[in-house]
Amino acid sequence: MLNKKIVLIFVFAFLIRLIALNQSLWLDEAVTANVVKNLELSQIISKFSLNDFHPPLYYFFMKLWTNFFGYSEVALRMPSVLFSLLTGYVVYLIGGVWSAVFFLFNPLIIYYSQEARMYMMATFFLTGGLYCLLKKSKKIFLFSLFLILSFYTFYGSIFLIVAMLLYLLFKKQYKYFFVSFFLFLFSFILISPLLYQQFLHSKISLAQVTNWSRVLGKSNIKNLLLIPIKFSIGRISFYPKWLYWGIAGIWIGFILFTIKTVLNKTVFYLFIFPLVLGFLVSFFTPMLQYFRFIYLIPLMSLLLSINLQNLASYNLRGWILAVGFLIFSLVYLLNPAFHREDWKSLTKSLPKNRPIYMIKASSDPIKYYNDKLIIKELRMMDYELRKKEIVIISYTANIYGLDYKNDLRKMGYKLKKEVSFREVTYEQWTK
C-alpha cells in the first residue's frame, strides 16, 4: 500500500510533465508520428525499419497507441510520460523514496519523458531488469524478458545488458546467467537479419553524409564530459558561458561528492561499465551521445540515495539534490527558449504558393504539420532553379556538407530574408 507522501510525489511528477507537453515536435519525433500514421504494422519493418537505426518494438507500440489516442503532440508524448513514471515506481521499489525523487525530477529525465521516442520505454524495461537483479528476484524469465524487450526497443540497451549478465557470472549465479544469456542470444538471433541490414545502411550513411559521425557521437573527451553534465542539469545551456560552466561545475561536484560518500560497489559498477563499453565501441561505431545512456540515470539516482540515511546530513543533502534537480527541470519547462525546435511555427509561416527546398530526409516535421506543402530536394536545386525567388530551409545542410549558399550566390541569388523559429530557419533568396 502506497503512503500519501509517495502518492503526492508521483502526482506532482505527472503534473509537471504536462507543462509544455504540446510544444512543437522536432525531427525525430515527427519521424515517429509519420511512421505510425502512414504505415501498417507489417510495413514498419518492410518499408521503414530496414533503413532506420532502431529496432521496431517502439514503433509497433506507438502504432497501437495512436490508433486509440490519435497523433497530436500530447498523444504522441504521453507514453514517454507514463513510462517515466513507471520507471520511477520501480526505482522506488529498489531504493526508496529519495531514489524515486532523484529520478522523477532529474532534468534530463523530465526532458525525455516529454519526447515521442523510445528512450523512456527502454529505460523502463532495463530498470525492470535491474529490479530483478538487485532485489535478487528468482524470476529468471521475467529478468530475461526485460532484457529482450529493452533490446528490441533500443539497441543501445546492450551496454547495460552486458553489464548485468557479467555481474551474474561474477557472482557465480550460473543458472541465472546461462538461462538469461541463452534466452537473450536466441532473441538476438531472431532480430539479427534486420540488425544486419540496418548495420549495412548505417555504413552507407556514414560514407555518404559528410558530418554524420559527429552527430552520432565519436569517442572524444567532449562527448564523454557531456554525459555527467547533461545527467545533472539536463538540456539547458545559457550565456555567459563562464556562469554556465561555473554553476554546472559546482552542481556536478556536489553530486559526485554525494555519490562518493555513499558509494555502493554493485550499483557503481552497473553505472560505469556501460559508459566504458560505449566509449570503446564508439571508436568503431560512433554512438557516444549522452541521451543514449539515459537508462543509467536510475542507477545514478540509486547511488545518490543508497545508505544516505546513515549520514548526519541525510535530510539536508536529500532536499538540496531534490530542489536542485527540480529547479533545473523548471528552467527547461517554463522557458520556451529551451524547448524543442519550433517546426510548428515555422511551418505556419512558410509561403503556401511555392516549393520549399530542403534536405528531404529531414522534412518529416513539415509533412507532419502541413503535408500539402511542396518539398524539393536541396541537393538537386541547381538543376531545377529558374525562379526569381526561392525558399530554403537550411536544416541539416551542414551535416550533409552542403555549401548551398555559395552555390546560390554563384547563380546570382541574394539572401533577402531569414526567419528563425527556435533552432530552425527558413530563408528567401532572390535574383
- DSSP β-bridge partners for residue 427: 392, 418
Rounded to 5 degrees, what angle do the CA atoms 79, 289, 360 make?
A: 75
Rounded to 5 degrees, what angle do the CA atoms 202, 84, 362 make?
A: 35
Joined grid coordinates for residue 13: 511528477
Residue 395: helix, strand or coil by DSSP?
coil
Q: Looking at this protein, which amino acid is placed at residue 329?
A: S
Please tell me the predicted confidence (pLDDT) of residue 1. 59
Measured distance CA(175)–CA(173) in Å, rounded: 6
Please tell me the predicted confidence (pLDDT) of residue 265. 84
Closest CA to 71 of 41, 102, 36, 40: 36
Please tell me the predicted confidence (pLDDT) of residue 230. 95
- Whether the Cβ atoms of residue 77 and residue 116 lie closer than 8 Å to each other: yes
Please tell me the predicted confidence (pLDDT) of residue 307. 62
| Alpha-carbon distances, residue 401 vs 39, 242, 281 (angstroms) | 31, 31, 25
How do residues 195-243 score in pLDDT, each as one tens digit? 988 888 877 777 666 666 666 778 888 888 899 999 999 999 888 888 8
Instruction: For residue 264, give the DSSP letter.
Output: -
Joined grid coordinates for residue 141: 524469465
CB 117: neighbour CB atoms within 10 A?
22
Asked if residue 336 has a cis previous peptide bond (ω within 30° of 0), the answer is no
pTM of the full predicted structure?
0.94
Please tell me the predicted confidence (pLDDT) of residue 152. 97
**71: Cβ–Cβ under 8 A, 6 or more apart, which residues?**
33, 36, 37
Joined grid coordinates for residue 424: 530552425
Closest CA to 106 of 339, 338, 329, 259: 329
Residues of the chain where predicted confidence (pLDDT) is lower than 50: none
CB 383: neighbour CB atoms within 10 A?
7
Measured distance CA(253)–CA(232) in Å, rounded: 10
Please tell me the predicted confidence (pLDDT) of residue 233. 95
